[in-house]
Structure 1
Amino acid sequence: MATGDERGAAEVLRALARHLNCLNEDSKNTRKRALESIRRETFEKSLSSDVLQEVFASILKSLLKCLSDPMERCRETAIQMIGDFIRSVPKPEDCLPYFIPAFTHRLGGKEILEPAEELRLSMMEVLSLTVEVCGSRLAPYLDDMVKILQRTIVDPYPEVKKETCKCTVNFARSIPAHFHMQAESLVKPLMQTVSHQHSRVRVAVVEATGAVIQYSSGKPVDDVLSHLAQRLFDDSPQVRKAVTAVVGGWLLDLPDRYSFFHKLIPLLLTSLTDEVPEIRLLAEDLWRRTGAQWEKENEQDLKDKLDFLLEPPAHYPPGVERPGLGCRELVSRNLSKLLPAVGRDLGDWLAGTRAKTARLLSVLLLHAEDHSTQHLQPLLATLYRGCADGEPAVVQSCLESAELLGRFVHPEVSLKLLLAHAENASSSSSSSASLAVLAAVLRGGSGHALRPHLLRIGDALAHPDLWHESQQCVYVQVLGCVQALLGVCEGDCGPISLQLLQVLLTVRSLSTEPQLWSTVEETTGALCSELGLAGEAELYRQHMPQLIGWLSQTQRAWTNHSIQRLQLQVLVVQSGPVIGEFLPLLMPLLQDCVQPSRDPEMRLHLFTLLSKLLLDAPNTLDSQGKFSEHLEVFLRELLLPNLEWHAGRTAAAIRTTALSCLYALLQGGGVSAQQLQAVQAQLTPRVLAALDEDSQTSRLLASRSLLTLLRLIGPNLHPDCLNTIYPELLKRADDSSQEVRSVCLSALGCWFSSVGQSYDRQVCGPHLQLLFQQLLLHMDDPEGSVQDHVLDVLKAGSSVHPELLRQEVEAVRDKQRSPSRCDQLLRHLQSIPRDSA
């Protein structure tokens, strides 16, 4: 048989002799035809493999020489024929001493000599084929192969890069015992190519990197990890999947994997939260296998835990599958090495990096469980930074991590650090972040574990130092803490209901957001529900003495900008009728706050508040009908001192608000005629003085107050007092404000109604004469409405002294623009019975 093969080979070679000689001709067409003839004489004649082996050995050098042929078609044909021979002969390794150096020369030099990218691809495909068929027999050619791979990994043609990566994977697996000696030299070109614009190239490079590192000495791991970590943010799911598969393979099979667990685990766990389900499932499978393998390898060390710690913790997150013991142990034992890197990446400038890192942190804490207690301080520092991030995804993941801390770390440990940091936060952003973490930890905790610490939590939330930053974000987070406590501890919050109400009161007083107000109302309702109270009024009734006492502690230092001033305002408004039950406590506080020596702007706001309350006195201050008991003190100590004249715009503004408060008191029904009579001697002069104020608003309020006062106690006023009032009203009948004029004229009409039997018409005749004369002058006003109003006033005054009025009307009738109204008044006077006159 061998002799026949040799004869057959000899015959073929004789037939090829002329064609082989033609390969040396200068004519490119001749060389081309020669190569095509060689192909016909070999592969198209169905020769046996042994004959092809002999022929290949004989013509290989000629074919390799054609690799440098100037004609591209000749080089292409030669490459194809070499590949066909390698694929067909039984001993392709025999060609390696000539084949590998030739390919190395062509592809592995400093400059690639093959200019055609398609031919470089063909050559790499032949090289890949050679690796497949020769396998371990390529070991002697390690250096040459690596030279080729180094150069073609960075080839400009993407298809060459992909084929090279495929070849690299197969070559590494073929000679594992030798490959490690040169593996490191492939890392640099691979990392240069791992960020190539084509996703398929990136996939191929990642897979090649996996094989190179797998069969290396292990030293290059550090050189590739940062590059692979970046690929976890790749837009292509296939690239992320390749990284996941490679890292999972290393965790399972890398010889020195124990040394790199803390570096590899984060990469695989990051894929557990990938948005693509296929990648998540792959990562879960690889991680499960990694944990199971490590658990088996360390079975003796884990014996106690395997036997006794099978059940999950009592407060484990519902609906979450607990990782295996091996997985948990791997994370717990490496957590101290993982957290610094997580902290660094959470400060990365790329939002995507921060978001993935935040999700990774929650995965780590789910595995670490109560082991995270040992690392609580750096964990909290990381979460504070994450919750202050501007990226919502980062904040959300950090809050989920904080909830896990609440589930796994005992409150005795966590609250000590959390509450101290919340109180000492130096800025609104850090304060908001620390409170957000606290709220999340509380949400994750259990009511049973938190119960012994409720007083400490409540005192911390209500502490004034917590409110040094007036920012909406802070209020939202404090409110979140209250909601968390109510949700977790439910009915156990009774002992801190006062502190929680103080927090809600403060948020409501400082917030300017309607949505936040709505949330406060809902939270207050929830607090009432947990305490079994009928409504918000009951809650205020239960704590009103403590709340007023709480505010009174600091009232001497209040200014307009004090939080307490706003808290008082919300307290008296929101408590509604309940505030009327605690006037003995409230009035001293108000009295001290509106003294003339206190901050003017604060007094302005408080008088405005009092005006609103007094306008609805039956439903606020006088809800119990007891405001009258404090009325004299209210007028003498609160109102009258602030009605005294002082120079300056601020003083004038305060007098205006005090007048508004007085008018609200008179209109709101909070004062009886008898009580008003008792203080009118002090009150009337201040009101009359206010009629001369520069402020139109003050004059209007004073005139309205005087009108109301006359309606309430006019008939009971002494004649001397009445005679003091009408001149001031007459002055305002000429006021620049039409509204003030109208009110003062109405007040004069009411003045006439107040004249009773004790008013001596004869003695006081000059007063009445002056009053009639002045009113008749105003009845000649250019404004018809004023004329009509004055006419009504004089008709009201006609019953006081009809004869005197008749005389005065007749004296001025012919002097007026239009005597019609004088005639109307005279007719009215004639209708008055003589007896009444």
Structure 2
Amino acid sequence: MVCVCRSVSGHHDDIMAAMEVGEERAAADVLRALARHLNCLNEDSKSTRKRALESIRKETFDKRLSSVALQEVFACLLKSLLKCLSDPMERCREAAVQMIADFIRNVPQPEESLPYLIPALSQRLGGNEILEPAEELRLAMLEMLTLVVEVCGSCLAPYLDDMIKILQRTILDPFPDVKKESCKCTVNFAKSIPEHFHMQSEGLVKPLMQTISHQHSRVRVAAIETAGAVVQYGNGKTVDDVLSHLAQRLFDDSPQVRKSVTLVVGHWLLNLRDRYSYFHKLIPLLLSSFSDEIPEIRLLAADLWRQTGAQWEKENEEDLKDKLDFLNQHPARYPAGAERPGLGCRELVVRNLSKLLPAVSRDVADWLGATRLKTAQLLAVLLLHAEDHSTQHLHLLLSTLYHACTDAEEAVVRSCLESAQLIGTFVDPEVFLKLLLGRVESPHSSSLCSGPLMVLAAALRGCSGEALQPHLPHLGAVLAHPDVCQESQQPAYLRQLLACVTALLSTCAGDCGIISLQLLQVLVSVQSLTANPELCGEAQHSIRSLCQAQALSSPVELYRRHMAALLDGLSRSQPSWTRHSPQRLQLEVITMQSGPVVGQFLPQLLPVLHDSLQPSRDPEMRLQIFILLSKLLLDARNTLDSQGQFSEHLEPFLLDLMLPNLVWHAGRVPAAIRSAALTCLLALLQGGALTWHQLVGVQDRLMPHILAALDEDSQLSRLMACRSISALQTLAGKQLHPDTLNKIYPELLKRLDDSSEEVRAEALGALGRWLSCLGREYDPQAFQPHLELLFQQLLLHLDDPDGAVQDAVLEVLKSASTVHPALLRHNVEAVRDKHRNPSHCDRLLRHIRSVPQDSA
């Protein structure tokens, strides 16, 4: 049996020897056939060299030589073919490159060609200048080099310097396809000789970083992937050189570029040898992709991050033993809809947070909006991982958010408010309120910046009502403090003040009853300081919400509960009021919105009004107070007299509050005050809160001021005086004393010549009411001179050029015909022939004759 085996083995060796001899002969035959063609490669003729290369291909590959034979032929042809790489004719260079690539692809030992091939390529591609002008040929050479890396692998270690030299140059090649092929070759090369590559890898970083911003997205993708491999198989020094460039690519318009960055950073976190040293630099890049607009990239980032956390957790299992025992315990509160990251992920963030936050704080104020947005989104992700561990960094976090929340970009603000809400969710209110409320109270934060209030409102929304309840009194006191709620009229500031109240009502609901007064004070302040209808509407909506939280039926009930305290606060500040004081505006909001409640608190309200309307106080403020009073008096039955008690305060109201402002003083400002006071007086007389019986005691002191106002330079004052006399006569009816009546009509007659048609019309109307007020005490015979003067003056205006005035005077005279018809007829007949148009006189005479004798 042994003999048989030896026999078979010997026979096999003989066969192999015979085959080798045959291959050697075939190779020798080919080489003899190629000798002439090789000589032709040195000819000057381009066509001769080209035909020689074509003939070499026919004699080698077309004859299907064995790989062993090809190996021998390749060894003999290599130098000649490499020489052709510098041939002046492009077709010859192209044929040489293709032939060398085919040999490398088919020979069993391509590494034997490396001592000649690599230096030749280095000379051709790795110089300072491009020796190969044809882009396609440079690409073909790079593809050949990639092939060499694939088939030779670790054999390329001795040629590390040449390879790096080539790749440094070709990565920067102007032709995009060459760049991409160079990147592919670099990745393969790094994987082929990892134990040697790190020694020269640093030299590839700079050209890659120059290429990473190329205009073609596929080139950028290739450069990013190559940078990932260069760092992975290189030394740790290159990480810092690459990170800033990768961070910029997170803002790339191409999703594929952003995806490449995500993949590279994720793989570094999982596989980089020194990754523990770079966690604080790599984590923000990967977590930034959580907010990418493409769902695929967000999911990829989340998956890589989960893997990173799980791997780190496994590697540090002993260190996390205690925490792993409580793995399933969730925080008391957690954001709705958010998935809690794994323990490893959370721990990675917590342990690196002190290194991450300073950079975040800096970048969230970057001049580029895209950077600010990406950083703000990252901060929210970090805080979701950090949970209550963010407490120790609270000072820096809040300072960052104060400024970031006032960013011009709406998306940046939204992300920052999300972060602030997470602080409210995870941090003890006692801790964050101490810092936040201190900043809200500080002078520089109120009128100049709404940031602290924005952060406070968001934090309150994130907090639980149970946790906030013990802090409500302090919160209410701070928000209602004048230095906070009355300090600024900026809409942004007032909106955030309102947001704080809304957040409290939403979070604490019924518990807000203990600070109901303070919240109402804030809401009143907001309305008093803004002219924005939308903001006022939101404040009124919050007032209704405050009512609902306390089961009150309407805002009127809310005001009834707190009116005493509100007026008391205004009363204390009243001595310092000026035209600019917000308290005056608050008074207007309170009195106008509380409706009938005002009538219940007259003893507190009227002293405030009295002191505010003294002649020594700011004129403009007095004007505004009078306007407010006019509004209240016009609807007195539903405001000041809602309880029927206003008459008890009438005499001091008129004598101490109104009359001092009717006294004449020179100047435009006093004149405007008198006009406002007359307007207010008219509202009082027309508002339905008074009867003549209540006015009798003060009318003697009031009437001279009204009559004096008929001679005012201000048309408005004269108009209001006429209307006030009409209203007063309407209230008195036939109860006015004849002496008073005789003092009124002469002043009204003067107004018939007024420059204002409106004043003339009101004066005529007042004269008509005067006639209707003549009662039994007014003896026509005894007071005939007064009546005659009145009739004569009216008849004079019966011939007025204005037909409307004639008609109005005629109606007044008709009503006078019942007072003393004979006297009137006598005066009409005396002037009839003097009138330009006696028709009105005739009509009046006919009317007098038609008056029944009983009436006469």
TM-score by shorter chain over 0.5: yes
In structure 2, the residue matched to 1:556 is: 575
1:573 aligned onto 2:592? yes
Residue aligning to 2:355 = 337
Amino acid at match of 1:236: S
For residues 517 and 412 of structure 2, the distance between their equivalents in structure 1, rounded to whole angstroms, comes to: 35
Q: How does 1:448-527 map to 2 (within 5 A)?
A: 448-466=466-484, 467-527=486-546
CA–CA distance in 2 between the matches of 1:429 and 1:147?
Answer: 62
Work out whether 1:215 is the aligned partner of 2:233: yes
1:141 lines up with 2:159 in the alignment: yes
Distance of 2:837 and 2:130 partners within structure 1: 119
| 2:443–2:483 contact (8 Å) kept in structure 1 | no
Match of 2:620 in 1: 601
Say whether the 8 Å CA contact 1:752–1:797 is kept in structure 2.
yes
Match 1:370 to one of 388, 392, 398? 388
Deviation at 1:109, TM superposition (A): 1.5
Aligned equivalents of 1:137 and 1:829: distance in 2?
137
1:103 to 113, 121, 133: 121
| Equivalent residue, structure 1, for 2:824 | 805
Shift of 1:428: 6.6
Displacement of 1:696: 1.2
Q: Is residue 712 of structure 1 aligned with residue 731 of structure 2?
A: yes
Q: Distance in 1 between matches of 2:144 and 2:154?
A: 17
SS at match of 1:733: helix
Change (3 A) 1:834 1:94: closer
| Distance apart, 1:662 and its partner CA | 0.7
Q: Which residue of 2 aligns with 1:61?
A: 79
Aligned partners of 2:194 and 2:825: how far apart in 1? 132
> Which amino acid letter does the alignment assign opposite residue 783 of structure 1?
D
Q: Deviations over 1:130-175 (max 9, x none)?
A: 0111111111110111000111111111111111111111111111
Aligned twin of 1:547: 566
1:634 aligns with 2:659: no
1:267-416 aligned within 5 A: 267-416=285-434
Task: Give the whole-Å Cα distance in 1 for the aligned partners of 2:573 and 2:299.
Answer: 61
* d(CA) in 2 for partners of 1:503, 1:598: 27
Alpha-carbon shift at residue 429 of structure 1 (Å): 7.9
Label 1:112 to 1:830 Cα distance change in 2 as closer, same or farther (>3 A): closer
In structure 1, what is the equivalent of residue 772 of structure 2?
753
Q: Secondary structure of the residue that 1:554 maps to in structure 2?
A: helix
Query: In the TM superposition, what is the alpha-carbon distance from 1:542 to its structure 2 partner?
Result: 0.9
Distance in 1 between residues matched to 2:289 and 2:733, nearest whole Å:
87
- Confirm whether residue 244 of structure 1 aligns to residue 256 of structure 2: no
Alignment partner, residue 117 of structure 1: 135
Distance 2:448 2:72 in 1: 81
Q: Does 1:621 align with 2:640?
A: yes
> Is the contact made by 1:806 and 1:826 (CA closer than 8 Å) also made in structure 2?
yes
Q: Distance in 1 between matches of 2:61 and 2:81?
A: 15
C-alpha separation in 2, matches of 1:573 and 1:68: 97
Q: CA deviation at 1:63?
A: 0.6
State the one-letter code of the partner of 1:177. E
1:7 aligns with 2:25: yes
**Deviation of the 1:714 alpha carbon:** 4.7
Structure 2 counterpart of 1:157, from 162, 172, 175: 175
- Where does residue 7 of structure 2 map in the other structure? none
CA contact (8 A) 2:439 2:445 kept: no
1:536 maps onto 2:555 in alignment = yes
Identity in percent: 70
- Aligned counterparts of 1:6 and 1:16: Cα–Cα separation in 2: 15
CA drift at 1:127: 0.5
**Partner amino acid, structure 2, of 1:360:** L
Quick check: 1:714–1:751 contact (8 Å CA) kept in 2? no
Q: Would you say 1:656 and 2:675 are equivalent positions? A: yes
- Specify the SS of the correspondent of 1:553: helix
Where does residue 20 of structure 1 map in the other structure? 38
Separation (CA, whole Å) in 1 of partners of 2:790 and 2:271: 113
Shift of 1:793: 2.1
Q: Partners in 2 of 1:765 and 1:429 — Cα distance?
A: 71
Partner of 1:85: 103
Counterpart in the other structure of 1:585: 604
Q: Quick check: 1:107–1:151 contact (8 Å CA) kept in 2?
A: yes
Q: What is the CA–CA distance in structure 1 between the aligned matches of 2:777 and 2:447, rounded to whole Å? A: 73
- Given that residues 422 and 431 in structure 1 are in contact (C-alpha distance below 8 angstroms), is that contact kept between their aligned partners in structure 2? no
SS in 2 for 1:206: helix
Point out where structure 2 has 5 or more consecutive residues left out of the alignment: 1-18
Aligned to 1:264: 282
Q: Contact 2:447 / 2:488 at 8 angstroms: preserved in 1?
A: no
* Cα displacement string for residues 582-607 of structure 1 (whole angstroms, at most 9, x for unaligned residues): 11111111111111111101111111
Structure 1 counterpart of 2:701, one-letter code: Q
Q: CA deviation at 1:243?
A: 0.8
- Partners of 2:667 and 2:590 in 1: CA distance: 32
Deviation, structure 1 residue 749: 2.2
Distance 1:116 1:824 in 2: 117
The whole-number CA distance in structure 2 between the counterparts of 1:836 and 1:430 is 77
Question: CA shift at 1:812, angstroms?
Answer: 2.3
Separation (CA, whole Å) in 2 of partners of 1:42 and 1:96: 21
Give the whole-Å Cα distance in 2 for the aligned partners of 1:280 and 1:789.
84
How big is the shift at 1:762?
A: 4.0
Whether 2:739 is the aligned partner of 1:744: answer: no
Mapped to 2, the partners of 1:19 and 1:819 lie a distance apart of 141
Whole-Å separation in 2 of the counterparts to 1:778 and 1:756: 26
Using the TM superposition, give the Cα deviation of residue 835 of structure 1 relative to its aligned residue in structure 2, in angstroms. Answer: 5.9
- Structure 2 residue identity aligned to 1:575: S
Distance of 2:383 and 2:832 partners within structure 1: 99
Partners in 1 of 2:337 and 2:829 — Cα distance?
Answer: 100
Q: Which amino acid aligns with 2:803?
A: G
Q: Which residue of 2 is the match for residue 732 of structure 1? A: 751
In structure 2, what residue type is equivalent to 1:535?
S
Contact kept, 8 Å, 2:81 with 2:96, in 1: the verdict is: yes
Whether the 8 Å CA contact 2:84–2:92 is kept in 1: the answer is: yes
SS in structure 1 of the partner of residue 184 of structure 2:
helix
Shift of 1:294: 0.7
Equivalent residues in 2 for 1:185-224 (5 A)? 185-224=203-242
Residue 44 (structure 1) aligns with: 62
Q: Is 2:93 aligned against 1:75?
A: yes
Q: Distance in 2 between matches of 1:24 and 1:834?
A: 152
**Normalized against structure 1, the TM-score is what?**
0.98
**Aligned equivalents of 1:27, 1:542: Cα separation in 2:** 112
Offset of residue 406 of structure 1: 0.7
Residue 332 of structure 2: SS of its match in structure 1?
coil
* 644-653 or 510-519, larger mean C-alpha shift: 510-519
Contact 1:384/1:430 (8 A) holds in 2: no
Alpha-carbon distance in 1 for matches of 2:517, 2:578: 25
Q: Which amino acid aligns with 1:772?
A: F
1:820 to 833, 839, 842: 839
Q: Secondary structure at the match of 2:85?
A: helix
Whole-angstrom distance in 2 between the partners of 1:825 and 1:64? 134
Matched residue of 2:336: which SS? coil
User: SS in structure 1 opposite 2:174?
Assistant: coil
Give CA-to-partner distance per residue, 1:157-196, whole Å, 9 cap, x none.
Answer: 1111111111111111111111111011111111111111
CA distance in 2, matches of 1:17, 1:519: 98
3-state secondary structure, aligned to 1:69:
coil
Residue identity matched to 2:626: F
Question: Between Structure 1 and Structure 2, how many residues are aligned?
Answer: 837
Please give the secondary structure, in 1, of the residue aligned with 2:753: coil
Cα distance in 2 for residues equivalent to 1:429 and 1:771: 64
Deviation digits for residues 295-328 of structure 1 (CA, Å, limit 9, x no counterpart): 1111111100001242221111122111111110
Q: Report Cα offsets for 1:769-821 as digits up to 9, x if no partner.
A: 22222222222222233223223222322333333333323322332233333
